[in-house]
Amino acid sequence: MPTLLATRYARVVVDVPIPQPLDYTLAFADAAPGQVCVVPVGRRSQAGLIVEVRDSSAVDAGRLKAVASVVDEVSPLDQPWLDFTLFAADYYQQRWGEVALPALPPMLRSKPGPRFAQALARLRRARLEAPPAATPVRRRLNAEQQQAVDVLVAAQGFGVHLLFGITGSGKTEVYLRAIEDRLRADDRSQILLLVPEINLTPQLEALLRGRFQEAGVVTLHSGLPDGERSAAWLAAHEQRARIVVGTRLAVFASLPALALIVVDEEHDPSYKAGEGVRYSARDLAIKRAQLLGIPVVLGSATPSLETWAAAQSRRYQTLRLTQRAVDEDAEPPAIELVDLRPPQAQAGSAIAPAVAEALAATLEAGRQSLVFLNRRGYAPVVACDACGWLSRCPQCSTFAVFHKTDRTLRCHHCGYAERAPRSCPTCGNQALHGVGHGTQRVEELLRELLPTARVMRIDRDSTRKRHAAEQAFDAVHAGDVDVLVGTQMIAKGHDFQGVALVVVLNPDGQLASHDFRAPERLFSTLVQVAGRAGRGGHASRVLLQTRFPSHPLFAALARHDYAAFADGQLAERRSANMPPYTYQALLTAEGRTMEAALGFLREARDEAPAEPEVRVFDPVPMALQRLAGVERAQLLVEADRRGPLQAFLRAWLEGLRARRSRIRWQVEVDPQEI
């Protein structure tokens, strides 16, 4: 008998939309599942991930290509990580490689070249840029916090814990104690802390580094340069870092000794990916915890209705924090509604007299004000009264926003930009005017209104440069700003100690939205903004300008009664058979004409497999019908149980993929915007 080494085979996933892992022959004796490799795919070679090593292949060995090289300088991803990414791919109806490869750091995703080993050594040595550690302050826990910590410390195995605490109730301190306990219980254990916003990571990282100096804290988010992201990923993978703080993509970090996951502000829409694989990092965090048999903590003052429903039905355990942590006797700030209807306010004025007075009084008292407006730019649209011309984006079914700082018209959807015209492009009228208010215009108004105040604006436009946001927030914390005006960016999480007045300028737009999730989002945004007031323990006010002062949403908000609001919304959702009482998926199509997009979806609907439990709706144009020059339409499918919906989608999409249509289409499971 010839003494031949038995041929081994590797099953490899690559970032290509092909259904199954590919088989290759494997000449590397110590290659293992979870290892990154380079394989030929068609005529090219690219990075792949070995997901299985076996002694046989269903494909004839003579027809198989060989794995070209194996990256053995980096230890393999472990089996739980492979299982987790496979789950995510299946659930979101994607190919395994399309989820697993993009989850790897840039350095591993690009084909490792000849200098890979040196590059790797550099990354391992890299001192990661990090904010200085904050002075560790162990805040005394109140009784509710202590109770929550006790439950989390005692938690064994998988369980979802909803930390439902009003803003300022000290959720972070509860996380820190729970983390401390897990780190101490096992000197290998690792922690994953997810946050909704990149700008919140420096503050948290500093806090964590102050408290857990020895643990090694790294940050993972999409704003990091490739090298830093790779270095941070590697530190977590090699267990040099025990704490990872990150935005949604961090849910895929390699954490071989993961012992606890915390999802802060779990209701935040940014946990849902808006492009590529449309995963929910919150939902995947829960699944990852379940697969590993570890606890997961979801923190929020306004839990998502999905989470709220699970907590009400006791699938999740609720831990309540009802008091402000700084001063237990302090009432949350009073929320006052300012009626914007004439005669109380002059038509067209953005800031009501009562609000102007409050701003002046706050400045007088030497305290900070925060003015929130969810609209950047100067004016949402420019108009010509003579002929009716409006500044539209030429590529989208929406308006181009006037930016005064650089005198441009910009589309906030597709990025289109042009110089703002001096006169009307249609009739030559010189008297063009901006309609409505964005943050730039409000900033201007505030400077006129309060000439002695130091006014600062924070939005995506003012913080484009790296570290610009950090520096801006530092200035606010240092008390170098009297009035801060900004978008969502200023609402989330920041612990502003000196803010005594919060103003919400125009929340009414969202009341009229067609999206059934709009009220839920508005409520949570407003609670979050209002929560920036009075964090230092002193008296504070929240003023909300509205034309609908008797709207029930505002009434519940003014009572600080999220539970009543959420219960009411859930009752509505139940009677209308909407999520979380039903499960949805959205098929979207893009075409050069709306007819082409709708036509594709109609054919898709007609081809849908028969599944009695799944309801398939008629295709309709999307709310933002035209984006960047393409027409977009959508088709909703729905079922009362996840299982039948998943089975239906699998069969349906297989058929659609086989059609090789020239229409671009994609599916989104659990869509957040419809």
Q: Is 632 in the site for Zn ion (CB under 5 A)?
A: no
Q: What are phi and psi of 208, to 5 degrees?
A: -65, -40
- By beta-carbon proximity to Zn ion, the closer residue of 232 and 411 is 411
- Listed ranges 76-84, 203-211, 424-432, 505-513: which one lies at the site for Zn ion (CB under 5 A): 424-432
Contact, 541 vs 358, CB < 8 A? yes
Q: Which parts of 334-393 interact with Zn ion (CB under 5 A)? A: 384, 386-387, 389, 393
Number of residues that bind Zn ion (CB under 5 A): 15
Out of 426, 471, 577, 593, point to the residue binding Zn ion (CB under 5 A). Answer: 426
- By beta-carbon proximity to Zn ion, the closer residue of 391 and 546 is 391
Q: Is 395 in the site for Zn ion (CB under 5 A)?
A: yes
Q: What is the phi-psi region of residue 276: left when phi exceeds 0, alpha when psi lies from -120 to 50, beta otherwise? A: left
Contact, 37 vs 50, CB < 8 A? yes
- Listed ranges 328-336, 428-436, 525-533, 638-646: which one lies at the site for Zn ion (CB under 5 A): 428-436
- Work out how close the CB of 598 gets to Zn ion at its nearest, in angstroms, rounded to a whole number: 21
Contact, 424 vs 384, CB < 8 A? yes
- By beta-carbon proximity to Zn ion, the closer residue of 418 and 561 is 418
Dihedral sign for Cα atoms in the order 116, 117, 119, 123? positive
User: Which pair of structure tokens corresponds to residue 382?
Assistant: 């420019």
Report how far residue 245's alpha carbon sits from residue 218's, in angstroms, rounded to the nearest whole number. 6
- Work out how close the CB of 674 gets to Zn ion at its nearest, in angstroms, rounded to a whole number: 21
- Work out how close the CB of 414 gets to Zn ion at its nearest, in angstroms, rounded to a whole number: 3
Q: Is 413 in the site for Zn ion (CB under 5 A)?
A: yes
Q: Which parts of 452-471 interact with Zn ion (CB under 5 A)? A: none
- By beta-carbon proximity to Zn ion, the closer residue of 413 and 560 is 413
- By beta-carbon proximity to Zn ion, the closer residue of 91 and 416 is 416
Q: Is 79 in the site for Zn ion (CB under 5 A)?
A: no
- By beta-carbon proximity to Zn ion, the closer residue of 7 and 429 is 429
**Cα of 392 vs its chain's centroid, Å:** 29
- Cβ partners under 8 Å of residue 660, min gap 6: none
User: Which pair of structure tokens corresponds to residue 40?
Assistant: 């030929």
Name the residue with tokens 């015209």.
421
Out of 49, 424, 622, 635, point to the residue binding Zn ion (CB under 5 A). Answer: 424
- Listed ranges 11-19, 116-124, 411-419, 659-667: which one lies at the site for Zn ion (CB under 5 A): 411-419
How is residue 511 annotated by DSSP?
A: G
Q: Is 432 in the site for Zn ion (CB under 5 A)?
A: no
- By beta-carbon proximity to Zn ion, the closer residue of 414 and 649 is 414
- By beta-carbon proximity to Zn ion, the closer residue of 223 and 428 is 428
- Listed ranges 123-131, 422-430, 444-452, 661-669: which one lies at the site for Zn ion (CB under 5 A): 422-430
- Work out how close the CB of 398 gets to Zn ion at its nearest, in angstroms, rounded to a whole number: 6
Contact, 98 vs 89, CB < 8 A? yes
Report how far residue 627's alpha carbon sits from residue 78's, in angstroms, rounded to the nearest whole number. 41
Q: Is 652 in the site for Zn ion (CB under 5 A)?
A: no
Q: What are phi and psi of 449, to 5 degrees?
A: -70, -40
- Work out how close the CB of 381 gets to Zn ion at its nearest, in angstroms, rounded to a whole number: 13
- By beta-carbon proximity to Zn ion, the closer residue of 159 and 434 is 434
- By beta-carbon proximity to Zn ion, the closer residue of 387 and 576 is 387
Neighbours of 382 (CB within 10 A): 22
- Work out how close the CB of 629 gets to Zn ion at its nearest, in angstroms, rounded to a whole number: 8
Q: Is 396 in the site for Zn ion (CB under 5 A)?
A: yes
Contact, 231 vs 219, CB < 8 A? no
3-class secondary structure, 311: helix
How is residue 46 annotated by DSSP?
A: E
Q: Give the orientation angle of helix 171-185 with respect to helix 143-154, to 10 degrees.
A: 30
List beta partners, residue 399. 392
3-class secondary structure, 121: helix
- By beta-carbon proximity to Zn ion, the closer residue of 424 and 589 is 424
Report how far residue 279's alpha carbon sits from residue 646's, in angstroms, rounded to the nearest whole number. 15
Strand pairing class (583-591; 36-41)? unpaired
Q: Is 399 in the site for Zn ion (CB under 5 A)?
A: no
| CB neighbour class for 149 (10 Å; exposed up to 12, middle 13-18, buried from 19) | buried
Out of 175, 416, 562, 652, point to the residue binding Zn ion (CB under 5 A). Answer: 416
Q: Which parts of 52-71 interact with Zn ion (CB under 5 A)? A: none
Closest CA to 503 of 333, 300, 271, 314: 333
- Work out how close the CB of 321 gets to Zn ion at its nearest, in angstroms, rounded to a whole number: 43
Closest CA to 472 of 205, 480, 378, 245: 480
Closest CA to 352 of 376, 333, 371, 380: 371
- Work out how close the CB of 599 gets to Zn ion at its nearest, in angstroms, rounded to a whole number: 24
- By beta-carbon proximity to Zn ion, the closer residue of 429 and 497 is 429
User: Which pair of structure tokens corresponds to residue 617?
Assistant: 């709706």
- Work out how close the CB of 436 gets to Zn ion at its nearest, in angstroms, rounded to a whole number: 18
- By beta-carbon proximity to Zn ion, the closer residue of 94 and 398 is 398
Q: Is 427 in the site for Zn ion (CB under 5 A)?
A: yes
Q: Is 414 in the site for Zn ion (CB under 5 A)?
A: yes
Report how far residue 216's alpha carbon sits from residue 183's, in angstroms, rounded to the nearest whole number. 11
**Cα of 375 vs its chain's centroid, Å:** 19
Q: Is 146 in the site for Zn ion (CB under 5 A)?
A: no
Contact, 162 vs 312, CB < 8 A? no
- By beta-carbon proximity to Zn ion, the closer residue of 141 and 417 is 417
- Cβ partners under 8 Å of residue 667, min gap 6: 93, 585, 586, 587, 588, 649, 653
3-class secondary structure, 402: strand
Q: Is 411 in the site for Zn ion (CB under 5 A)?
A: yes
- Work out how close the CB of 417 gets to Zn ion at its nearest, in angstroms, rounded to a whole number: 10
- Listed ranges 25-33, 86-94, 421-429, 465-473: which one lies at the site for Zn ion (CB under 5 A): 421-429
Out of 7, 312, 408, 429, point to the residue binding Zn ion (CB under 5 A). Answer: 429
- Work out how close the CB of 373 gets to Zn ion at its nearest, in angstroms, rounded to a whole number: 21
- Listed ranges 237-245, 258-266, 395-403, 553-561: which one lies at the site for Zn ion (CB under 5 A): 395-403
Q: Is 20 in the site for Zn ion (CB under 5 A)?
A: no
- Listed ranges 134-142, 320-328, 417-425, 578-586: which one lies at the site for Zn ion (CB under 5 A): 417-425
Q: Can you give the length of the chain in residues? A: 674
Binding site for Zn ion (CB under 5 A): 384, 386-387, 389, 393, 395-396, 411, 413-414, 416, 424, 426-427, 429
